[in-house]
Structure 1
C-alpha cells in the first residue's frame, strides 16, 4: 500500500529501534522521511537504507533552534510536512524515586515531554496548512504502574498533552494520537542478557514486541485509514495490561509457574 504517497514525515530518534522502523515503514508506503537523531553515524545508515527519499539531520529535541531548523529543512527539501512522529525519549533517572534529584526529574521531562511539545509547536504551521497529524510514542508506563516513576510521569504527560492538542486543533483538521508500547526489543536491552526472555513471561501473547509492531501502529494512525481518530491512545503491548500486575495467567504463564495449584 502507498498510503503516504506525496506525504512528508519527520521522525525523531530515528537512528535505531522504533524510530528507524517507523521511518522505513512510512518510506515503504511512499513517504519522504526526515529522520533525526543525535547518533549521526547510525542515522546515516538508516537514511542510506531508505534511499533518496530520506533526509538525515542531527537534532537535539531539547534545543528549540535544532527543532525549528529540522522543520525548515524538511519544507525546503520536500516542500511540505504532513506527519510528525515524536519518538525521542528515554529513561534518564536510574535511582530510586525518593533519591532522584530535581535536576534529574527536570531532565527527564525536558527530553520526553517538553521535547515532544517543542516538536509539535515547530511543526504546527505546516500541519495546519496540510491538515496533517502527530503520532507520539508514549509507553504503557504512562497508563499503569510498571515503575520508573519519573519516566512514567513524562509519558503520562504526553498522553494528556495529546488529548488537549486534539481537542484544540480538531476543527482545523489536525489529528493527534499516541501509541503506547510495552517492552520492545531495541538496542537499549543489548547489554542486559536474558532480560527480554524473562519479561516475555509477563505477556499473554508470549513475547516482547518488535520495533515493526510499533511501526505498523504508527502507520495506521498517521494514515487516512485513521481519518476519524484523534485524541486516542493505542496500547500496543501484547496484552500486558489485561492481567493483574501484567502477569500472564495462561496455563503455561508466569502466574501459574510461580503459584502452582495445590
Structure 2
C-alpha cells in the first residue's frame, strides 16, 4: 500500500490489465483509492486479477474488452461510468508485438496491421469513447503506455511504429482536450520484467548490462509513473512523454564500455 489517496472517488478504466504493467497500474491506482475496471481480451485472467485485488479490500471490477473492436470499447467505457458513477482516468496499456521476420521485405501485411490496430488504433478507440466522460468531470486524465521503441531502434518494426504513433497522438489529443479539462500524457518504458520475458533469463541479464541504473524495470516502476501523471500532482503537465527506462536512452553504456576497453 502506498498510503496515498490521490484517486479517492475516481473511476478508472485500464486496458490490457490482466497481467504485467496493466495489472500493476490497476493495483497502484486502486491502492490510492480509485475504483478500477480491469479490462483485457483475456477475460478469465482479468477476472483473476480483479479477484485478487478485491481480496485485498480494493474496489476493482473486471470486464472483457477487445480494443480492436469499437463496440467492445464503448461497452467497457459505458460499464465503468455506470458502475462507478464517473470516468476520471483512462490508462491505455493494451498492445501487441509481432516478432520481426529476418528480412523486412518478408513481413506480412497481417502482422503489421495487427500491431498497429491494437497498439495505436486501439488506444485511439479508447480515447474517443472515453473523452466525453472524462471532459464531463473536469479533472480527466489519459495516460498511455508507449515504449522506448518509439524513440530509438530496438527492433520490432510494426510495434515500434505504433508506439511512435502514440507519441504523436498524445500531443495532438492533448492540444484538443486541454480546453475540455482533460490532460493526455504518455509513459515510455524500457525493458520491463513481465511475462513476455519468462524463460528468457539470459536475454534479460544481457540487456540489464545496458541500463545505467543496473537493472531492468519492474511493472511497479511504470505504475508509479502512471499514477503521478494521472494525479493532480501533474495538474500542469499535458502532451508530454515521460521516459521511464533506467537511463537507457540518456546514457550510451555501450559507447562508454568501448572506450574503457580501448
TM-score, with length taken from structure 1: 0.93
Q: Does 1:48 align with 2:51?
A: yes
Match of 1:9 in 2: 12
Match of 1:72 in 2: 78
Match of 2:115 in 1: 108
Match of 1:219 in 2: 227
Q: Does 1:236 align with 2:239?
A: no
- 1:71-97 per-residue CA deviation (whole Å, 9 max, x = no partner) reads 111111111100000000021243143
Structure 1 residues 173 and 248 mapped into 2: Cα distance closer, same or farther (>3 Å)? farther
Shift of 1:193: 3.0
Equivalent in 189, 200, 214 of residue 197 of structure 2: 189
Match of 1:85 in 2: 91
Q: Can you give the 5+ residue segments of structure 1 that lack an aligned partner in the other structure?
A: 250-254
- 1:105-139 per-residue CA deviation (whole Å, 9 max, x = no partner) reads 11111010000000000101101101201000000
- 1:172-196 per-residue CA deviation (whole Å, 9 max, x = no partner) reads 1110000000000000111323111
Separation (CA, whole Å) in 2 of partners of 1:83 and 1:248? 41
Residue 39 of structure 2 aligns to a residue whose secondary structure is: strand
Match of 1:252 in 2: none
Separation (CA, whole Å) in 2 of partners of 1:105 and 1:45? 31
Report 1:140-179 matches (<5 A).
Answer: 140-179=148-187
- 1:168-227 per-residue CA deviation (whole Å, 9 max, x = no partner) reads 111111100000000000001113231111110010001000000000000000000000
- 1:11-63 per-residue CA deviation (whole Å, 9 max, x = no partner) reads 00101100000000000000000000122222122111221611100111000
Shift of 1:145: 1.3
**Where does structure 1 differ by over 4 angstroms across 4 or more consecutive aligned residues?**
none
CA RMSD across the alignment:
1.5
Shift of 1:247: 3.1
Match of 2:22 in 1: 19
Separation (CA, whole Å) in 2 of partners of 1:259 and 1:225? 42
Separation (CA, whole Å) in 1 of partners of 2:8 and 2:229? 16
